[in-house]
Structures are given as C-alpha cells and as structure tokens.
Amino acid sequence: MYKGYSILCVIPARGGSKGLPGKNIKKLSGKPLIAYSIEQAKGAKYVDRIIVSTENREIANIARRYGAEVPFMRPRELATDDCSIIDVLLHAMDWMENKGKCKFDILVLLHATAPLRTIEDIDNSIKLLVDKKADNVFSVAEAHRNPYFNMVEMREDGTAGLVKKGSFVTRQSAPRVFDMNASIYVWWKDVLKKGKSVFLKKSRVYVMPGERSVDIDDYLDFRIAEMLLKEKRG
C-alpha cells in the first residue's frame, strides 16, 4: 500500500513460448526465471498481493513454491501468441474483484522475462504514478538509436529517409527517446479498465539503466542476463 492505495501485482507467464521454449521456468543461474519477478514483487514494500496468470500447471506450481498466488488458471484463448496483454490483465482484474473479492486501486504488471529489475525500481514506479498523478507509468531505457538522427524508414518507392524529420546534427542535440524495456507497468485500476492501453494522455516513463533492462525473448537474451547476473554477484 502506498499513501492509502492498495496495490495488486500481476505476473503473466504462459507456457507456449516460441523463441525460447519453456523460458518462464528455465533455470537462470540456478533459479526458475519467473522466481526473480516473484521475489522482487515480494520485496517491494508497496505491493500488497502478488498473483501469477498462467494456463500452465507446471508454471503455476513453481509460482506457488516461490510465494505467489495462482488463484485461477488462465483460459486457453488468453494464452495464444496473438492475445493482447491488456486482455490478460482485464481478465485477471475481473477475476480478483468478482471471484477473489480483492479490493485494489493500482495494478502493477511485471513481466517474468525481465529478471534484472530491482525492488526499488518497482516501488519507485508506483511512487511516480501516485505522486505525479499520472494515468500510468511504464519502464524504459535510453535508446541506442534516435529516429531524428540515425534511424531510417523505407518509403513505398524503395528510397529511405529519417523516421522523424528534424535538422539535428548530433544525436545528443535531438530529443531524448527511449526503448520500452518490457519490465514494469503500473496503472490505476479504473484508468486501465477505461483506457485499455499503455499509451494514455498522462502516461509517464520510469527510466532504468541498460544493465537492468534485458528482456528475455531468445537464447542470446538469456545468456546476456546470465552474464549480467554473474557480474552482479561477483
């Protein structure tokens, strides 16, 4: 709870990964990948409850072992490659409110594939939402390329040009741009129900360093996360 607002954390983790099969429970430095997000959420001082949304029994059992609740099994139609994460969250919120009798004001989404965030990153994202009266907050990292300076798009006639028009002669002089690092998302419950989007009128970003912004999608990402964890532990 933060400033009187109760907070529910949802960690989605389906079983059907294509890029790295079984990645959500693949052992990363001796621990299932999903365990990192569960333990971080448990350590966050403002998070009141933690649930995992999954259709997979093995993931559910491991999630419970590490201290998360799995109060329902996600419907199969919400565990396909083309299912929106927003639909997954709306389902989880509806179940918790109506069947789980859970009262909460703020929803935090932590992706299981982002194991390098810190407890402080979670708490600071929540504080940013409340203190700045934002609609929502999502985490980002500084981008290595800038659409005003060194990113191009292909036109229909085959020629290429800058993605965003501008007259900037250095990347440093161009507007700051960020990569969404798929780590932390925070919404007011009612705003998410109404807006059903990440991009809202009063969205804010929480900036994280690159070394905490690895999102595991394939084997290379997994090895990078493994290397960074080993360096962190000395």
- Could you read off the pLDDT of 30-65 as tens digits, one per residue? 999 999 999 999 999 999 999 999 999 999 999 999
And the tokens for 212?
């905490």
Q: Give me the CATH number covering residue 218.
A: 3.90.550.10
Closest CA to 63 of 82, 229, 71: 71
In Å, the largest CA–CA distance within the chain is 57
Residue 149 lies inside a defined structural domain of this protein:
no
Q: Is residue 127 part of a domain?
A: yes
Question: What CA–CA distance (Å, rounded) separates 175 from 146?
Answer: 8
Q: Determine how β-strand 7-12 pairs with β-strand 106-110.
A: parallel
16 pLDDT above the threshold of 90: no
Helices and strands in the chain, H and E counts: 6, 10
CA distance 13 to 35: 11
Q: Is residue 95 part of a domain?
A: yes
Mean pLDDT for all residues in the chain: 95
Q: Whole-prediction pTM value?
A: 0.93
The reply to whether 157 falls in a domain is no
- The answer to whether residue 54 sits within a structural domain is yes
Does 83 map to a domain?
yes
Of the candidates 23, 16, 9, which has an alpha carbon nearest to the alpha carbon of residue 78? 16
Range ranked top by mean pLDDT from 6-20, 57-71, 167-181: 57-71
* Range of the structural domain that residue 12 is part of: 7-141+179-233
Q: Which of 77, 78, 112 is nearest to 92 (CA)?
A: 78
Q: How far apart are CA 138 and CA 105, in angstroms?
A: 17
Q: What element of type H or E holds 221?
A: helix 219-233
- Predicted confidence at residue 4, as pLDDT, reads 97
Does residue 234 have a pLDDT over 80?
A: no
3-class SS letters over 163-216:
CCCCCCCCHHHCCCCEEEEEEEEEEEHHHHHHHCCCCCCCEEEEECCHHHCCCC
Residue 28 three-state SS: strand
Our count of domains for the chain comes to 1
Q: In what order do the strands lie in the sheet with 49-53?
A: 49-53, 7-12, 106-110, 178-188, 136-142, 203-207
Query: Residue 168: inside a domain, yes or no?
Result: no
Residue 167 reports pLDDT greater than 90: no
Structural domain includes residue 155: no
